[in-house]
Amino acid sequence: MRYCPEAVLPMFQVITIGSALVDIFVHSSQFASQSSERDELLCLTSGDKLDIEGFRVFSGGGATNTAVGFQRLGFQTGIICELGRDDLAQIILNDLKRERVMTQLVIAEKKEQTGGSIILVDQVGGRTVLVHRGAASLLDTYDISPFWLSQTRWVHLSSIAGRLPALEKIFQTLTRSHEVGLSWNPGKTELELLRTHQLKLSEIPCQIFFVNQEEWQLLGSVQAEVLENFSEVVVTAGKAGGMVYVSGKPAWKFLSQSQSVVADETGAGDAFATGFVSAKILGHSTRIAIAWGVKNAGSVISYYGAKLGLLDRDRLIRAVAEVGDIETRLETENLS
């Protein structure tokens, strides 16, 4: 079942596809951390009842984060994601409607449970995430509308839990729709499909491909094939910034925005992708797209949750203008 509140058929400028979750942040100074040889551990005593300083509830997931991001940047945005028909779904839908994201393509299944996560945050900002993806991991081919994908200007695809038939339908539809752009921020399950050649890179009509440094390493031997097939490949590295490859070659190196206070890094990647892609849709250069991505991500990590800090277009343009020389202040270095 789909939510279709409007009688008039919509026209989307951007459609986002991916997960929709509810994120619950739990903060406590009583969460103890301990170092091991390999990792930093969050330690809790079994059977204890701990006081917490607070908790916050937000909608999350790649599809909702980017949908709100594109809508704030001035694009009429629709979203394809899967929910249950429960209270958590209503939290997500209320957020989307508040932000004027169109929900006609949202799938709501009565027998499924909306996905959610609990993020345990210790006194120094360290976090441990418990995730139940639920309905967010259950998109099927019949949930994907070729008609609407072929009518939009741009599709931004985030992780759909490696649902191979759905991925193939999306890519086949967009291959036939030559005027529709595609950006893709895959999850680890999709990266495994690429690495094992279950998805053929030559058959994916992707213009902009986003991964972080860890994900880039997971691609291993297919990195060269990724660079060969996708026009722009953006590899982010958190505080260290990242690299943009253009036409298979390293073209731009950048640092992230300097932050005196980082509240929460959740959604930084989605915010960067939203800013970068929006600039590209509007015809800006890669250099400007990097600036939009960096400023949008920098704003998001100043707040808890993935949406509160997302900038609208006027604020983003002003923020970039205040930087002055982008290459100097953002330390963006043209390597081509």
Q: Mind listing the pLDDT tens digit for each residue in 203-250?
A: 999 999 999 999 999 999 999 999 999 999 999 998 888 999 999 999
Q: Examine residue 76 and state whether it is found in any structural domain, yes or no.
A: yes
Closest by CA position to 56, among listed 24, 104, 91, 92: 24
| Interval 284-314: pLDDT, tens | 999 999 999 999 999 998 888 899 999 999 9
Q: Examine residue 112 and state whether it is found in any structural domain, yes or no.
A: yes
Residue pair 253/333 in contact (Cβ under 8 Å)? The answer is: yes
Helices (H), the chain: 62-72, 87-98, 146-151, 164-176, 188-195, 213-219, 223-229, 268-281, 286-300, 313-323, 326-329
Amino acid at 212: N
Q: Examine residue 266 and state whether it is found in any structural domain, yes or no.
A: no
Closest by CA position to 259, among listed 288, 291, 287, 297: 297
| Interval 57-113: pLDDT, tens | 999 999 999 999 999 999 999 999 999 999 999 999 999 999 999 999 999 999 999
Q: Which residues contact 309 (CB under 8 A, 6 or more apart)?
A: 271, 299, 300, 301, 302, 303
Q: Quote the CA–CA distance of 69 and 210 in Å, as a whole number.
A: 16
Q: Examine residue 3 and state whether it is found in any structural domain, yes or no.
A: no
Amino acid at 145: S
User: From residue 180, how far is each of 4, 43, 248, 320 by CA, in Å?
Assistant: 24, 48, 22, 27
What is the pLDDT confidence band of residue 328, given thresholds at 50, 70 and 90? very low
Q: What is the CATH number of the domain that holds 111?
A: 3.40.1190.30
Calculate ∠ Cα 318-319-325, nearest 5°.
100
**Which residue range forms the structural domain that includes residue 20?**
12-31+54-138
Domains in the chain: how many in total? 1
| Interval 266-279: pLDDT, tens | 889 999 999 999 99
Indicate the burial class of 146 (C-beta count within 10 angstroms; 0-12, 13-18, 19 or more). Answer: middle
Q: Examine residue 255 and state whether it is found in any structural domain, yes or no.
A: no
Q: Examine residue 279 and state whether it is found in any structural domain, yes or no.
A: no
Highest mean pLDDT among 39-43, 90-94, 249-253: 90-94
Q: Examine residue 223 and state whether it is found in any structural domain, yes or no.
A: no
